[in-house]
Amino acid sequence: MGTLFSLMHKSWNCGIVCACLLIKQWMLTLIKSYNSHMERETLIYCRVSSERQEKEGHGLDSQEHRCREFAQAKGYQVVDDGEFRGVFRDSFTGGGDFMQRPGMSALLTYVDKNGHKDFVVVFDDLSRFARDVGAHFRLRQEFDERGILIDCPNFTFENTPEGELVETMMAAQHQYHRKNNRRQVIQKQKARLESGYWAFNAKDIPGYKRGDHPLHKWILVKNEPEASIIKEAFEGCADGRFVEQTDVLNYLRRNNFRGGKKIYLSLVKRLLTRVLYAGCIEFPDWEVSRRRGHHEAIVSLETFEKVQEKLEGKSYVVTRKDTTADFPLRGFVKCEHCKELLTASWSTGKTKKHPYYRCKNKACVVGNKSIRKDEMEGRFEDLLQEIVPTEAALKLTKVLFEKRWQKKISEFEKNTKGDVSRLKEVKERVELLSIRAAKAKNDTVAEKYEEQIGKLANEELLISEKIQSQQVTEKDFGTALNEVFGVIKSPYNLWVSEGMNSKRLALRLVFAEQIAYSSETGFGTPELSLPVRVFELIGTGKSLDVDLGRQYRNT
């Protein structure tokens, strides 16, 4: 029994001695590591995942403060030469290439430039180092190759198999959290898109800004004057005034689009292909098909589709190339002698350019005689001021138009019934194809069904928009009629107003055909046409942009 106790006592003493030796070795390792860190200059690296965190959450400042306190507690000396205080910052989200982070790239460059020095880099948390396992150890390798040591308040780095295992597990956990957060964000954004709301930054969408609505907490609202400029770009492209994308580009530049910032053709293509401007939401990358959005449209879906056809080369619009703002009468005034339309151009003098109209018919008796722009347009303004319809003629015309309006209402109702019927057929077809796509066992067949569903869904939106645009009232008619007759009473006022469209409209409202001009006698007796077909204005929804009626003459 005594022998047993003696052996146990010796074993106990031996264990204590071994433990003491291990503790001593660990202390020596810590002291060596501490001294190694103390001999090095210290740098601080801070990182947040978004600009919002940087600006609103003061995340970078709080990280720097915590790192400095940690460095002070461990006796580290953070680099501070007055101009540079030893801190590198990043606002960068996700994993991947760490060299894409400006702050991290600058840190490594700084170390390379000071290769004669040794450094220790302090992080607020291991997740600031990298949130991707592969990137984490690639960055660790970059640090090891430069002899950089790293330290962190929340984690102790050890160059042991056990330390590497724990570090790998922590890096994997951070990678999981990053990917899981991204998945949750995408799910929420996709749900919002499917509900008809734009789920991304409004700053990336020219013509819109973030706004409030009585029924919607966050929604896109028009941002002027960009919205009106974009509307004109779409409509000009659709009706042929802008033949090429370069024409749209020049129009945007003339109107100081984007506050004078440089704009390129790539921006034009993005603008003209965004169905968002037609009041719809679509995001194919997340399989969100086109649907009506809750925000206000800048252009109609019909106009948008016309532009897409032009961009894809499916339609071609013949446009006049002689209707410029410099010569509003070009293409409308003809020569008194040969009846050929006058052309116009700028002639270069000794000191400056001069604008002229001229007859280009070489066989004409006046030859290629030039007519000064101010002379002819001045006489035309005098002619417009003389054109004043009688009150009796206007009253009679209003009565005739009211009768024509009632007939047009009947046509609207008939067309609307046909559109409603077609809309019902389209919805039923979409529902049937959706069922077939869900039951399809072949992926190719399912994709074909989905393609058909997408086309029908777009047709559904077009028909719905058409039905809504045809819902006009007596109030609409009365407002439009008064507006048109206000113009007819004084076409001169419309002519002298700003804008080429207003001048061309005045020509169509007042004159039945081209008017003749002679440099000796001025304008001949024009054939007038008053008033216009107001029911076309109501039917097409265009702002006063109607053709000249020939039914009624002002005698």
What pLDDT does residue 80 have?
A: 86
Q: Using alpha carbons, select from 318, 122, 351, 324 the residue that is nearest to residue 239.
A: 318
Of 277, 280, 252, 287, nearest to 266 by C-alpha is: 252
Closest C-alpha among 236, 166, 140, 222 to residue 499: 236
Burial of 332 by CB count in 10 Å (0-12 exposed, 13-18 middle, 19+ buried)?
A: buried
Mutual orientation of helices 265-272 and 245-254 as an angle, nearest 10°? 100
Largest CA distance in the chain: 146
State residue 31's pLDDT score.
46
Judge whether 293 and 276 are in contact, CB under 8 Å.
yes
End-to-end CA distance of the chain: 143
pLDDT at residue 474 in the model: 56
Specify the residue for token string 């291991």: 126
154 C-beta neighbours (distance < 10 Å), count: 13
Check residue 469 and give its pLDDT. 62
Domain boundaries, the chain: 36-177, 202-311
Q: Is the dihedral of CA 370, 372, 376, 377 positive or negative?
A: positive
Could you tell me if 545 and 494 are in contact, meaning their C-beta atoms sit under 8 angstroms apart?
no
Q: What is the CATH number of domain 202-311?
A: 3.90.1750.20
pLDDT at 552: 36
Q: What is the CATH T-level fold of the domain 36-177, as seen in this structure?
A: Rossmann fold (3.40.50)
Candidates 239, 221, 237; CA nearest to 298 is 221
CA atoms within 13 A on the CB side of 136: 19
Residue 483 CA to residue 104 CA, distance in Å, equals 65
pLDDT < 70 positions in the chain:
1-39, 50-58, 93-97, 214-216, 314-325, 389-394, 396-397, 411-413, 465-489, 498-499, 501, 528-555
Residue 481 · residue 487 · CB < 8 Å? no
SS3 437: helix
Q: Which amino acid is at 485?
A: F
Question: How many C-beta atoms lie closer than 10 Å to residue 244's C-beta?
Answer: 12
- Closest to 225 in 3D by CA, of 250, 258, 251: 258
The Cα 244–Cα 489 span in angstroms is: 38
Task: Please state the separation of Cα 81 from the chain's center in Å.
Answer: 45
* Residues 127, 150, 75: CA angle, nearest 5 degrees: 115
